Amino acid sequence: TRSPPPGVDRLAIYGRLVNDGDTPVVLSRLELAGAGQVMLHETVMDAGQMRMRHIDPIELSPSKALVMAPQGLHLMVMGLARSPQAGETLTIKATTRLDEVHTFLVRVQPITALGPVPN
């Protein structure tokens, strides 16, 4: 993700979520410390306008990746208490319907970044 402009309390996260297991995983809750909400959104065209549609629950099929990219799926983080700065790492906590907790890390890039940081 990129650091948001000053005064903006939201950001979009792009990347891949992969279920390396043998059974489907259903995520029922996403959390980020210091944020009001984290939701999966899909960008859709509606009556000639781009809109975001909330997707819930988030289903991850076995051995498949959920790809999040601009103009498509993305995690929307809203209600940030402070703006994350370039170089920081955000920890997203994902809880499944079975109350299993998984975490994943997101690197914050400069606001001027044009794409993902290579691995």
Please state the pTM of the whole predicted model. 0.88
Q: Is 95 exposed, middle or buried (0-12, 13-18, 19+ CB in 10 A)?
A: middle
Low-confidence ranges of the chain (pLDDT < 70): 115-119
Predicted pLDDT at 36: 98
Residue 114 has a pLDDT of 77
**What element of type H or E holds 16?**
strand 15-18
Q: Residue 119: its pLDDT value, please?
A: 47
User: Which pLDDT value is given to residue 38?
Assistant: 98
Is the domain 10-107 a CATH 1.10.468.10 member?
A: no
- Tens of pLDDT along 54-86? 999 999 999 889 999 998 999 999 999 999 999
Sign (positive or negative) of CA dihedral 33, 39, 42, 44: negative
Residue holding tokens 């370039």? Answer: 86
